[in-house]
């Protein structure tokens, strides 16, 4: 039965839950049954989802998820304006922050260049990054992208567009395919400390 055409709310709920990262078909069905059986939890979840949809937005500076025009990192006077760490998605910032090694600012690309997936340079927030380097005194761009051919292409393009700015990338030894979220804080710490410069 196609969940989209089903009149059964449980089927549709399970189908929508299965779209979440890390949630398979069996897990989505278990969650759907749990929520249908526990109305109060379903109410809490519904309210949390509505609040998230209505109140969470993107930081105007780095594009991190926040409830204010600027995220807490961009507002902090304790952060170093001279360094920007470039990541692909908002969750990468959270994992790096847990390591406590980086005290600069972030820039979230939102995507990396991938011709096979139809993602062009224009689809990434590259121009926004270049604008930030012109507005602020930035001495170093640190790339913290998952190791892949697509990431290498993205890094090479961006570094070529930033002459005069030191560009580095995290040291090797990080988990392939999910660099940040599947890497312990100690490894992240050493990856930052031993980052390598990109030859422009």
Query: Does residue 84 sit in the same domain as residue 179?
Result: yes
Does the residue 136 lie in any domain? Answer: yes
Q: Which domain-ending residue is among 34, 55, 76? A: 55
> Is 125 contained in some domain?
yes
Domain count within the chain: 2
Q: Are residues 73 and 49 in the same domain?
A: no
Tell whether 115 and 165 lie within a shared domain. Answer: yes
Q: What is the dihedral of CA 189, 141, 147, 186, to 10 degrees?
A: 0
> 149 and 187, same structural domain?
yes
Tell me the pTM: 0.85
Which range marks the domain in which residue 179 is found? 68-197
Reported as a single tens digit per residue, the pLDDT across 143-159 is 999 888 999 999 999 99
**pLDDT-based confidence at residue 1 (cuts at 50, 70, 90):** very low
pLDDT in tens, 75-132: 999 999 999 999 999 999 998 998 888 999 999 999 999 999 999 999 999 999 999 9
Q: Tell me: do 179 and 115 sit in the same domain.
A: yes
Q: Same domain, yes or no, for 89 and 36?
A: no
Q: What does the alpha-carbon distance between residue 152 and residue 149 come to, in Å, rounded to a whole number? A: 5
**What percent of the chain has a predicted confidence (pLDDT) above 90?**
74
Same domain, 181 and 147: yes
Question: Is 61 part of a structural domain of the chain?
Answer: no
Evaluate whether residue 154 is within a structural domain. Answer: yes
User: Do the domain assignments include residue 129?
Assistant: yes
Predicted confidence at residue 2, as pLDDT, reads 54
- Say whether both 22 and 111 belong to one domain: no
**pLDDT at res. 76:** 96
Residues 42 and 73 in one domain: no
pLDDT at 46 over 60: yes
127 found inside a domain: yes
**C-alpha dist (Å) from residue 14 to 18, 45, 188:** 6, 15, 36
Residues 76 and 25 in one domain: no
Task: Scan for tokens 């690309």, then name that residue.
Answer: 109
- Kindly state whether residues 112 and 149 are assigned to the same domain: yes
The verdict on 107 and 129 lying in the same domain is: yes
Closest C-alpha to 179, from 140, 139, 150, 141: 150
CATH number at residue 93: 3.40.1360.10
In-domain check, residue 60: no
**CATH code, 15:** 1.10.8.420
As beta bridge partners, residue 83 has 140
Any idea which of 3-7, 10-14, 53-57 has the lowest mean pLDDT? 3-7
Strand partners, 65: 58
Cα dihedral 99, 103, 105, 111, rounded to 10, equals -20
Nearest residue to 96 (alpha-carbon basis) of 159, 188, 161:
188
Tokens representing residue 97 in the block: 């922050």
100-139-165-113 Cα dihedral, nearest 10 degrees: 30
């Amino acid at each position: 039965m196609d969940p989209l055409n089903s009149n059964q709310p449980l089927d549709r709920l399970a189908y929508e839950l299965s779209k979440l990262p890390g949630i398979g078909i069996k897990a989505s069905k278990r969650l759907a049954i749990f929520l249908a059986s526990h109305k109060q939890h379903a109410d809490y979840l519904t309210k949390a989802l509505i609040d998230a949809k209505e109140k969470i937005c993107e930081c105007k500076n780095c594009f991190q998820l926040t409830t204010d025009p600027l995220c807490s990192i961009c507002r902090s006077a304790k952060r170093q304006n001279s360094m920007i760490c470039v990541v692909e998605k908002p969750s990468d910032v959270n994992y790096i922050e847990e390591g406590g090694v980086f005290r600069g600012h972030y820039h979230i690309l939102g995507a990396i260049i991938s011709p096979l997936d139809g993602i062009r340079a224009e689809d990434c927030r590259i121009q926004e990054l270049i604008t930030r380097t012109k507005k602020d005194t930035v001495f170093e761009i640190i790339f913290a992208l998952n190791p892949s051919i697509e990431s290498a292409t993205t890094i090479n393009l961006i570094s070529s567009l930033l002459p005069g700015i030191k560009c580095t990338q995290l040291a090797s030894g990080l988990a392939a395919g999910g660099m940040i979220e599947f890497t312990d804080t100690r490894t992240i710490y050493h990856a930052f400390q031993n980052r390598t410069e990109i030859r422009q």
